[in-house]
Structure 1
Amino acid sequence: MGTLPLPMVGRTPDEILADLREKRGGDVRWADGRTFSLVFDGGEDVRAVAEEAAIMYLHENALNTLAFPSLGSIQAEVCSWTAELLNGPDAAGFLTSGGTESILCAVEAARERARHERGVTDPELVLPISAHAAFHKGAHLFGLRTRTVPVTADWTADLDAMADAIGPDTALVVASAPQYPQGLVDPVAEIAAMAAGVGAGCHVDACMGGFVLPFAEMEGRPAPLWDFRVEGVTSISADLHKLGYAPKGVSVILHGSRDLRRWQTFDFDGWLGGRYVTPNLQGTRSGLPMAAAWAVFQYLGVDGYRRLVRTTLDTADRIRACVETIEGLTVLGDPVHHLLAISADPAVDTTGEQAGRRVDPYARGEARAARGGPRGPRGPPP
């Protein structure tokens, strides 16, 4: 395929927008609830507030909060509200473009801390196989060796294997709340204690749970302790653009203290353009998603988030109850919140009288896709 030329003469707004509407026609209908994990919709009212705030900050640049102090204030307030939810009175952090960038920042900060405080020259990242792939991306980009450990029969991190993997070169140990593939919360307290034992950091990936689990606890459905109440947890990531219901892309990376946060910042003045300081991987950052997240936080408040979490948990409960009535399907592990993994039931024999009753989850995913929903299959269980 060759290159495409720009139009020699500019087109009218009506023509341009008509073309965009046509392109969009083949996209999945996210407003109908058919894009789990890609778009999280809090409802028309939430959307409207976010869109107004986004338009207001369409052109502002968060690279320089001296020029745009309102964005500095927005970032500080959103991080502070999140720290309050995650029980981190001393926590401090930054807004990022999404969960992957938050994870990358946590990995890079842990490497820097291990290098400067403990003299680690060959840093390692210890994580269960259920942890998000972005940790492996971070290790690849920042020069850490990964030590991946298995999960147990209940799909949470294998503590014995983690204990064997953690050593003097460990820079960061990972836990998830919840982990993405099966929706289980890892034993964070035990993992954090092992990390602290060698002076390493412990990062809790709460990109999917950071704005669900605190409100679920308020609703009487707590998870085992996983946030900054756990001694040894040094950083947490939580995605505002998932179940925080802000538009893409905005996430929070929090460190347990300002002292821990400093390892994330890049500060350089060895070029002709003056001092260059960035807390994130990005330089220029749009103020649009930051302002939209701030507005959604203010609009929903605790009561609004509790209402949405009640609806989410009720939906997950009903899906699980339905799955459990279908011979040939099962829910993996015992997830108690909003994520669950549906699998072919290994207890169903594929021979004899039960032959043909075992459901192929990939075929089920294709059938769902044919009706406009997500396919949903994940990789095979480890």
Structure 2
Amino acid sequence: MTDLSGTDGVRGEEASRKELLRIEGLVTRFHTARGTVRAVDGVSFSIGSGEILGVVGESGCGKSVTSRSIMRLYDENKAAGHEGKVLLKGRNLLELSKSEMRNVRGNEIAMIFQDTLSSLNPVYTIGNQIAEAVRRRGGAGKKEARRRAVDLLGAVGIPDPERRFEEYPHQLSGGMRQRVMIAMALACEPSLLIADEPTTALDVTIQSQILQLIGSLQERYGMSIMLITHDLGVVAEVCTRVVVMYLGQIIEDTDVRTLFERPLHPYTHGLLRSMPKADRAREGKLESIPGVVPSLHAVPRGCRFAGRCEYADSKCLEEMPSLTAAGEGHQVRCWHYDRIGREWGNGA
């Protein structure tokens, strides 16, 4: 995969492209009553050391399944299976034993989720939950773990961390709980943080604060971040590169500046046009992508976006395009990407 450059105004500009994680041909299958489906279908991408990668797409496109497959969170689900490679520093996580993978989780890769209430234990104080994560990481004593937990609460912007240490999850706002989840992730000093829709349930002001926090912590700790979102505005604010997914596949992969200035896939166009902007709203130009994502039980034969695409022709309906290099560090899965890129450049 070609190295991807950073963009102005994005923290990853200084990040090295020394590879931390490489996904090769990842497939995640689920066996259902209606048959086997491939929720992730041949996905390949990489994340560099210190890089912030955004993974975007509508609900059901495979973003979260990809992240959970990296973490092997389906290990206990006998109805799920994987193919391909998930290489962390050259080691294939899909080949590790369950006990080896448990050591990877938290210590090398940490994950924060959208639903903070279900992620935190309601019967333990937030401080004790963070302290326990610290102790698992390095065998710290009780006093040292408490001191480190208080420091982490302060690092994620929680005021009066000594007092907050003794509070329970239900006593905190959604934004504060998300900060606690980030503190717990940092407790083990992971190389990679996966953030799955971390701002979706928060109001706009708190969303911005959490995004700024994630960006500042990336700079401070030098970790890589995989940020999963359906919001391209979030990607523009903090990410270096972006992968666009649709129905289990990657359909565009490039740096953030290129994605906004010269997107090559019609689905990416639709996502960009649907972004709320004051001038578009006043002029009545706010758009939505027609149709819905097809069911995984009825995946189209050719291009998976063809049924919703204004550019689709008979070839699109019959033949699936491969992910094609369309410039330095830019890949796209579309038969007509040249035409689409020209039309976007002309203000389409």
TM-score higher than 0.5 here?
A: no
Structure 1 length as normaliser, TM-score? Answer: 0.27
Structure 2 length as normaliser, TM-score? Answer: 0.29
